[in-house]
Amino acid sequence: MEGWISDILEKAEGPASCGLCDRCLGRMFGKAGAAMTNDVRGRMIREGLAESGKGCPAPASCGLCEGVFDLLDRFAAAVAESVNAVRSDNFLVGTRVEPEIAERERAIWERFGLDCAEPIKTELNREIGKLALPLVGRPPEFVNPQVVACIDTRFADVTLDIAPIFIAGRYLKHSREIPQTIWPCRACKGKGCPRCKGAGKMYWTSVQEIIGDIALEMSGGEGHVFHGMGREDIDARMLGDGRPFVLEVRSPKVRDIDLDELGRRANGSDLAGFSRLRFVPRAAVQEYKGAEPDKTYRARVKAEGKVNKERLDGVALSFEGVCIEQRTPRRVEHRRADLVRRRRVLWVEAEMAGDDEFDLTLCAEAGTYVKEFVSGDEGRTAPSFSEALGVRCAVLTLDVIAIDYQEPEKD
């Protein structure tokens, strides 16, 4: 008799008397005896008990698993059929067992103080995966699986949990009439109503939809989410090298879509442009959303009266490295917390464009409200350009022309 069997025989007598099949008996001591399946382990334990005069023959029907392991081939075939319907580099099997079975298993553990047992779900996952492997032709992945096939052992139904794909890049927004992301209609919250003409959204398209809908079509996905490194106002353009973003495509049936084709098709729009498209891991979403790069803006400003060029140049120079305090602007206070934020204006340059109009180019920390820096927002931003100039001013048009961010060589 092997040493590990003699060590557990005293504890094994109780579970063996509960009408367990060899698999379930072996699983009660799943961490004992290496390099063997649970049915072999259980059979060896039963033989050891018989040699000790404490024989507990295997029952015709297991009182724990109710014969679920007799259906392993059927489960594996169902998993393979579902997994083969999508394209992926790897897969993993998960199971859903009847709650009553799991409860009976826990009761046996607790009754006999078993501390080296393996859960039935773990064994089912492993054994179904082994049988499905040659049918699927893809390796298993236990840390970051692209596809998890979860089989309900009560009905042999398979639910696929397909990991999203993440596509990073930069976008330009040429239009002053579309937002970065989809804006649900404020009246119907996306359901569709007369105000939105049934569309369920405030604007007819967005940067997100221009590229996301194409990616969805190419991948056979079920939805997309747009993660931008900040956002510009709807009436502001995004120029220069563009704004970094990550597009998340959920439940894609095809993962290795052609990003060159995606870029060509998305760039067919006059409203936005896309570049530097590449696949990135999930972690890139938080990296991009958490980044706070400085940004450079260009604004056409209208003053309430004539502006002296020398005075304008002097005011622009005076804001180099100046810290300003900005209370949440009036225009966004309905959707932002009423806070006072401190932001630094790094530099400002000015150029006359008429007697009462001028262009400002400025670089500021992430999160600066540029329109309010110019206007003062009725004193909610201080100091402001209007205050320093001594003339009330307002931004007519605003463009983001640079975002000071360098993508890592490998995301």
Opening angle at CA 254, ends 251 and 258, nearest 5? 125
* Length of the chain measured in residues: 411
Between the CA of residue 5 and those of 12, 105, 116, what are the distances in Å? 9, 21, 13
Q: Is 233 a catalytic residue?
A: yes
Exposed/middle/buried for residue 218 (C-beta within 10 Å: 0-12, 13-18, 19+): middle
Separation between Cα atoms, residue 261 and residue 174, nearest integer Å: 21
Q: Return left, alpha or beta for 75; rule: phi > 0 is left, psi -120 to 50 is alpha, else beta.
A: alpha
Reduced to 3 states (helix: H, G, I; strand: E, B; else coil), residue 96 is strand
Q: Which residue in 152, 233, 241, 294 is the catalytic one?
A: 233
Instruction: Please give the radius of gyration of the chain, using alpha carbons only, rounded to the nearest integer.
Output: 32
The amino acid that residue 324 corresponds to is I
Task: Give 44's DSSP letter.
Answer: H
Between the CA of residue 300 and those of 152, 379, 393, 396, what are the distances in Å? 62, 21, 10, 5
Q: Packing angle between helix 99-112 and helix 3-16, nearest 10 degrees? A: 120
- Asked if 342 and 325 count as a contact pair (C-beta separation under 8 A), the reply is yes
Positions marked active-site: 233
